[in-house]
Amino acid sequence: MTTSNGRESAGIVPHLRRRLRVVAQLGLLIALVCAVAQQRGFKVSTPEAIKTEFNSVPCKNEERMAAVKALFERVGATESDETVEKYKSVENFVIRKPGASPETIIIGAHYDKVSDGCGAIDNWTGIVAVAHVFSAVREVPLQKTVLFVAFGNEEKGLMGSQAMVGAIDKNQRAQYCAMINIDSLGLAVPQALDNVSSKKLTQLAADLAEEMKMQFSHASVGVADADSSPFVAKKIPAVTIHGLSNDWQSILHTRNDQVSKINPLSVYLGYRLALALLIRIDSSACTAYR
């Protein structure tokens, strides 16, 4: 997530010191989502599988692209699925899952990090969530085409997402139904970053969380920016889902952004919400969230 230091945050819920009552809720949540998943053939990852992904996190920028590729292949991608889209100063890793129509949903997270810290929260948590959403739907026929994207150089000014949306012909934008961005899970319950998100998609996220009996909140982080912003600017509906707590400024963009700060249950809930968003958008009219 791209932020400005010293800015106040609003609406961010406290740190998971009491595990956010997640443990009490988790059994019900898993039962609900697994029942739906089994009916439609989705393979939902377990909290344990999500936790395992943080046994090893690449802490150097030059290692991140290869690690993204290895992660997606570990959850079922093949080399034929993968494309590295190269622009002047950035590379995006893209997996395209064709749907019944050319109408398109983008779900993504940035893979780069700032120089300090390991970039575990910001944003390896987002990469893990997107990879597991891909794993859940990869063998299920979808109505819409889905692009799973690992954006490069977000921390240098949203360069990967700017390049992707800039390459979409103006006449083709109408077939891009929605963009789901996952950025910095792991500290608190899932939240929509309202100031860089479309209103109808933030409301959809809140509605789905309520359906799943999941805690959810809204937040605006000062003048923070995220990879949803370029899509919103081009009138493509987009939402950023994060999981930050009130002490996020002591972790993000500092040496404290380490694996030890991650609560895997928070990442799991963010992943589940992202998957629910993708499924609901796929079954809706492309214009539903404009």
pTM beyond 0.75, yes or no: yes
pLDDT value at position 161?
A: 98
pLDDT value at position 164?
A: 98
**Residue 82, H or E segment:** strand 82-86
SS3 120: helix
pLDDT value at position 220?
A: 74
Burial-class residue 223 by CB neighbours within 10 Å (0-12, 13-18, 19+): exposed
pLDDT tens by residue, the chain, 290 residues: 776 543 334 455 554 444 455 444 555 555 555 555 555 678 899 999 999 999 999 999 999 999 999 999 999 999 999 999 999 989 999 999 999 999 999 999 999 999 999 999 999 999 999 999 999 999 999 999 999 999 999 999 999 999 999 999 999 999 999 999 999 999 999 999 999 999 999 999 999 999 888 989 988 766 578 999 999 999 999 999 999 998 899 999 999 999 999 999 999 999 999 999 999 999 999 999 99
185 vs 51: CA distance, rounded Å: 13
268 vs 126: CA distance, rounded Å: 11
